[in-house]
Amino acid sequence: MIPPHGGKLINRLVTNREREALIAKAATLPRVALNDVSLSDVEMIAIGAYSPLEGFLTRADYESVLTKMELANGLPWTIPITLGVSKEEAEPLKTGQDAALVDDTGSLVAVLHLEEKFSWDRDREAKLVYQTTERKHPGVARLDTVGDVLLGGTISVVNRPPHDDFQPYRLDPLQTRQLFQAKSWRRIVGFQTRNPIHRAHEYLQKCALEVVDGLLLHPIVGETKSDDVPASVRMRCYEILLEKYYPKDRVVLAVNPAAMRYAGPREAIFHAIIRKNYGCTHFIVGRDHAGVGSYYGTFDAHKIFENFDPEAIGITPLFYDHSFWCKQCEGMATVKTCPHPETERVTLSGTKLRELLAAGKVPPPEITRPEVAQVLIEAMAVKG
């Protein structure tokens, strides 16, 4: 089994007497409210999905991630995992002491063992992480909702964020690793998605299945853009596809509770590391991975891996070009395998696809499986 990032699967969930003591102590502590993204980050830290992180970044790690794409100890890490508060909220918080982290209902989630408070520059982080300071970028826009002071330190999670959805699919890294071992899978490929799977995605996954033992289909169900397809709709699409078109003994469907950052190439590395922690040995990186708009080059998410020692990343990326249905080939292909002109390729832009679905029209089967299209049409009708 592939080792977690940093060599140890982190577990910040406290139990029994330690949990009871922290709950009692939390009643006397200053409180910090978590937004949806920070709540997702707390859960990802707690279950080891962000291994080796044990809490929110301190200044040294934060600066190193921004400028070098690695933690202060030299381990690759590309996305700053931070907790921000206003100057007024930061005032009563003392370094070396604890603070209670609560959700939007005021319920206790975790205790932060505060090591540092430090200021940060939004535009600097935006430029280094997202390659733009435009507020039209959803990741950059989110930075404006983060407070002026960042809190660094380890966390102890006493009450895991509750979920009443996707229960059969909420598998932690320890559970997926145990499942892969039970299946005797040694080579596992992970696939990141925030969208319903279309034929191009299906093609990439099945190509990868030719060289590995199993596939972890791992959609994000944390915070995404408001115009992204809701997680419940996406999950129904995945269930239908797996039931009808995939070998049942070679695919595991599990949800990823992280929030999307839309950080393009940096997030491709981040997503690969997360899947490594879940036990994957390989990771599919498609065209414009984790991209949004035109902020990143088509294959920047492939090129960024060249900046890292493969052994330090520890998971093997599988790079794929844009795929499509070719009329002459009579099947799925990419520009690497198809010699025919673009006029022979069946493709639809995301905008055109949404227009068809909104009109209740089923896209060509070369683009989307009819069963998936029907789920999307029904969902758009309800939304409308």
- The catalytic site residues sit at 194-195
Q: Pick from 351, 326, 323, 331: which is nearest to 341 by CA?
A: 326
Structure tokens at 289: 């991975």
Q: Tokens 């009819």 sit at which residue?
A: 370
Report the DSSP beta bridge partners of residue 253: 217
Report the DSSP beta bridge partners of residue 76: 70
Q: List phi, psi (to 5°) of 19.
A: -65, -45
Asked if 135 contacts 68 with a C-beta cutoff of 8 angstroms, the reply is no
Our measurement of the distance from residue 305's CA atom to the centroid of its chain's CA atoms, rounded to an integer in Å, reads 17
Which residues neighbour 167 within 8 Å (Cβ) at sequence distance 6 or greater?
none
Q: List phi, psi (to 5°) of 101.
A: -100, 125
DSSP-derived letter for residue 251 is: E
Residue at 190: amino acid letter: G
Report the DSSP beta bridge partners of residue 317: 283
- Rounded to whole angstroms, the Cα distance separating 209 from 252 reads 12
DSSP-derived letter for residue 260 is: P
Q: Can you tell me whether residue 324 is helix, strand or coil?
A: strand
Q: List phi, psi (to 5°) of 99.
A: -140, 145
